[in-house]
Each structure stands twice: as structure tokens, then as C-alpha cells.
Amino acid sequence: MRGIGKMTLARRAYDDSLFSQYFDKRAWITVSQEYQRSDIFSGLLKSLKNEQSNGSAVELAKMVYQILIGRRYLIVIDDIWSTKAWDDLKMTFPDDGHGSRILLTSRILEVAAHAGSSDTLVHQMSFLNEDQSWKLLQERVFRQEYSCPLHLVEVGKKIAKNCGGLPLTIVMVVGLLCFSVCAFPEDSKIDVSKLIRLWVADGFLKPNDPFRCLEDVGEGYLEDLVKRSLVLVSKKGPDGKLETVGIHDMLREICITKADEE
């Protein structure tokens, strides 16, 4: 089911530091219902080489194969909808006994069963129970503390229950609960990950590349605002990514005025 956490679980595995050390090559591709083989292979090459490649589907598939052969790789194929899609792709991935892995996410059990072999693990996602839903809501609203004020516990649990056990619904509701003109107090350092989650929850981000997740799109927008001097960098991480940002007082006044108008 959409929003049950398939992509989140796959992303946790894909980004795990032990996995990044274990596998020589990693790539992430989203297939969806409508796809072109050439686009898929081009996306895989971009993920593997961080550069754009052109050619026919056959030529691009050969390039993918040549990069992967002899190496231990992890390929995530996200949101695959049909057995045909897997059949179109599977010959591109060499199986040379080096411990490589392919991780698929799909809403259709038949697709997972078709892609697997006798030793394949098919993990079916389940809805969160009421306790898990409430824990997730607390974690997202109150960050590290996980401690909800007593006078909000009853209504908070009702909100969590009404999300129907879907993690994405809970995250979107959190975005609505946390968002206001005063979401970030004056002169505060704005946590980039929280800001982008709010953008996602409010539907501000539109994917301009089928191979990029919304979080990456948000980071791109934010970096563009920094280049225009509309957003000030407060802190960067060891990898150079933005961690906290801020805005000038004058820009803040403009934002508040615009928010009141809209």
C-alpha cells in the first residue's frame, strides 16, 4: 500500500554505513507504472557513475553490465509494478557469486514472488499498531525528547489512531501540526532536515527528475536559495551538506507579510 513505508525501509538499508562499505557499487532507480527501458538504464548509469549517458536501451544495458561485472553491488529498484518490468531488467545484472544483492519494492506481491528465487526473502510491510503510531507521532513532533505534555496526550493519541497505521499519513499530519508562520522563531537556526520535511508535507516540492527523491529536490532548492543570498548558511556537515540555515530579519518580515496575504 502507498505510504506504508516500503521506500523508507529500502532507503535505510541503502544508506546504511556498513552497506556502503560492503558493496563496491550501489545504485537506486525508480521504475513506476510507465517506464522506458532506456530511461531506466540511463538512470542506473547516472546513479553508478554520477554522469549522464546516452544511447539505445541495448547499449546502455551493456554499459551497466560492464560496470557491475566482477564487483559486489547493491541495486535498489523502487516501485516496480509488473513482472514484465523485472524481466526487462534482470539480464542486466551479472550474477557472479560475489555477494551482490538486488532489493525491489512493489505494491504487488506477485511481482515480488516472480522476481525471487527459492532463497529470496519477501518482506510484507504491515500497518503500525496504535502504540507504534503514537511513538512515531511523538518522535516527529517533539524531536529528541519523545515526551508529549500531559494535557496533549489524549488528543495526540486520537490523532495517531486516526492515521490508520500509515507512516506517511502520520508524517504528513506532523508537518501540518508543526507548520505555522512561527514554525521557526526569529534569529533561530533552522534545521534543514525538518524544513525539507515540512516542504514535503505541504506539497511544495515537485520532482523534476524521476530518479531523485523529494528530499534531494528540497536540498537542491535550498542550495539555490543560498546562492541567491536569500538563505544564510549556519552550519554544514562533514560531507558539505547543509545542516542548519537562517534568514535575514528583513526577509523574515517579507515572509510573514506574504504568509498573511495568502
* Residue 182, pLDDT score: 53
pLDDT of 185 over the 70 cut: yes
pLDDT of 108 over the 60 cut: yes
CATH T-level fold of 6-115:
Rossmann fold (3.40.50)
Identify which has the larger pLDDT, 116 or 37: 37
Give the three cell numbers for residue 231.
538563505
Give the three cell numbers for residue 139.
518522535
Give the length of the chain: 262
Q: How confident is the model at residue 178 (pLDDT cuts 50, 70, 90)?
A: low
3 state SS for the chain: CCCCCHHHHHHHHHHCHHHHHHCCEEEEEECCCCCCHHHHHHHHHHHHHCCCCCCCHHHHHHHHHHHHCCCCEEEEEECCCCHHHHHHHHHHCCCCCCCCEEEECCCCHHHHHHHCCCCCCCCCCCCCCHHHHHHHHHHHHHCCCCCCCHHHHHHHHHHHHHCCCCHHHHHHHHHHHHCCCCCCCCCCCEEHHHHHHHHHHCCCCCCCCCCCCHHHHHHHHHHHHHHCCCCEEEEECCCCCEEEEECCHHHHHHHHHHHHHC
Q: Give the position of cell 558539505.
A: 240
* Residue 150, pLDDT score: 86
pLDDT of 122 over the 80 cut: yes
Mean pLDDT of 77-86: 90
Give the three cell numbers for residue 214.
523529494
Identify which has the larger pLDDT, 53 or 129: 129
Lowest mean pLDDT among 59-68, 72-81, 163-172, 253-262: 253-262
The pLDDT mean for the chain works out to 85
* Residue 117, pLDDT score: 67
Q: Give the position of cell 537562517.
A: 246
d(C-alpha 244, C-alpha 193), whole Å? 8
pLDDT tens sequence across 14-38: 988 888 889 999 999 888 788 888 8
d(C-alpha 76, C-alpha 31), whole Å? 10
Mean pLDDT of 77-82: 90
pLDDT of 50 over the 60 cut: yes
pTM: 0.62
d(C-alpha 244, C-alpha 115), whole Å? 42
Which CATH number fits the domain 179-261, given the four candidates 2.60.40, 1.10.3470, 1.10.10, 1.10.357?
A: 1.10.10
pLDDT of 76 over the 80 cut: yes
d(C-alpha 104, C-alpha 116), whole Å? 10
d(C-alpha 184, C-alpha 161), whole Å? 28
pLDDT of 129 over the 90 cut: yes
Domain residue extents for the chain: 6-115, 179-261
d(C-alpha 222, C-alpha 224), whole Å? 5
Lowest mean pLDDT among 21-25, 26-30, 47-51, 192-196: 47-51
* Residue 183, pLDDT score: 66
Percent of the chain with pLDDT over 90: 29
* Residue 259, pLDDT score: 78
Q: How far is CA 174 from the centre of its chain?
A: 17
Q: What is the dihedral of CA 118, 92, 211, 226, to 10 degrees?
A: 110
Mean pLDDT of 168-191: 75
Phi first, then psi: what are they for 101, rounded to 5°? -140, 145
pLDDT tens sequence across 137-167: 988 888 655 678 888 899 999 999 999 999 8
Q: CA neighbours within 13 Å on the CB side: how many for 105? A: 22
